[in-house]
Amino acid sequence: MRKYVIMGVQGSGKGTQSTLLADDLDLVHISVGEIFRWHVKNHTKVGAQVRRVVAAGELVGDDLVEDVVGTRLQWHDWNYGFIVDGFPRNRRQAEFFLESYDIDGVIHLDLPDEEVRRRVLARRLCSRCGMDYNLIAHRPEVEGTCDVCGGELVAREDDTPEALATRLRDYHEKTDPVLELFRRKEYVVTIDARAGKLAVQQEIRARLGLPPHTA
């Protein structure tokens, strides 16, 4: 059983790296942002509560976040473990999490803010299947169209310069201290996220003592 947390600013590749790791090791990938986007898209009660907050790049209230994460983990479908992405984002969430779960490692993807801006503003998402694209590093074959399902590519509602500025500010104010807390417990491996997708994945594996990724 392996339990990991992946942290990093928006656009640092948390989703991509978590998916590679989860697919290979049979881990359940729990992305809190994705859960909220699902609720918004499906017009649920939670969706109505968080829609405006998520679109503005602000943080959802701790009670609701803890409820969503707690409920998801209680499914206990993670026989081989899980990788939590986008949580905890502040000290209170970290304390809530550590009360219930031991963590085997925190993967910290480190990326300078300038590179974050460049990447995030070029990010696109398939509106049908959710596949990630990037107009710099991973262009679709046909502009505006998903290579996999033919769905329309759209920018995330919170990938605007204004929302990004809010998210970066929150990250440094609220999430940097969580990293410090984890560092004191020696959980953290910091990885330079400027390298390519596979190089970053191999570095994560090496640092966590896991077998290398084979394509």
Binding annotation: 11-16, 37, 58-60, 86-89, 93, 123, 126, 129, 146, 149, 156, 167, 195
Q: Binding marks (x or -) toward ligand AMP, 28..57, rule CB under 6 A?
A: ----xx--x----------------xx--x
Q: Which residues contact 212 (CB under 8 A, 6 or more apart)?
A: 202, 205, 206
Of 46 and 210, CB closest to ligand AMP = 46
Q: Which of 25, 46, 60, 121 binds ligand AMP (CB under 6 A)?
A: 60
- By CB under 6 A, the count of residues binding ligand AMP is 17
Which 3 state secondary structure label does DSSP give 125? strand
CB of 19 to ligand AMP, least distance (A): 13
Of 110 and 202, CB closest to ligand AMP = 110
The binding site for Zn(2+) consists of 126, 129, 146, 149
Residues 92, 65 contacting (CB under 8 angstroms): no
Distance CA 215, CA 212 (A): 10
Instruction: Tell me the two tokens of residue 149.
Output: 């399902």
Nearest to 7 by CA among 206, 204, 199: 204
Q: Which residue is nearest to ligand AMP (CB)?
A: 33
Using a CB cutoff of 8 Å and minimum separation of 24, what contacts does 157-162 make? 157/54, 157/55, 158/54, 158/55, 158/56, 158/57, 159/10, 159/120, 159/121, 159/123, 160/57, 161/117, 161/121, 162/56, 162/57
Of 24 and 58, CB closest to ligand AMP = 58
The binding site for AMP consists of 37, 58-60, 86-89, 93, 156, 167
Distance CA 175, CA 30 (A): 18
Distance CA 208, CA 185 (A): 15
CB of 14 to ligand AMP, least distance (A): 7
Q: Which of 39, 72, 89, 108 binds ligand AMP (CB under 6 A)?
A: 89
Q: At what angle do helices 45-55 and 32-41 cross, to 10 degrees?
A: 110
If binding is defined by CB under 6 A, does position 158 make contact with ligand AMP? yes
If binding is defined by CB under 6 A, does position 93 make contact with ligand AMP? yes
Q: Which residues bind ligand AMP (CB under 6 A)?
A: 10, 32-33, 36, 53-54, 57-60, 65, 86-87, 89, 93, 158, 167
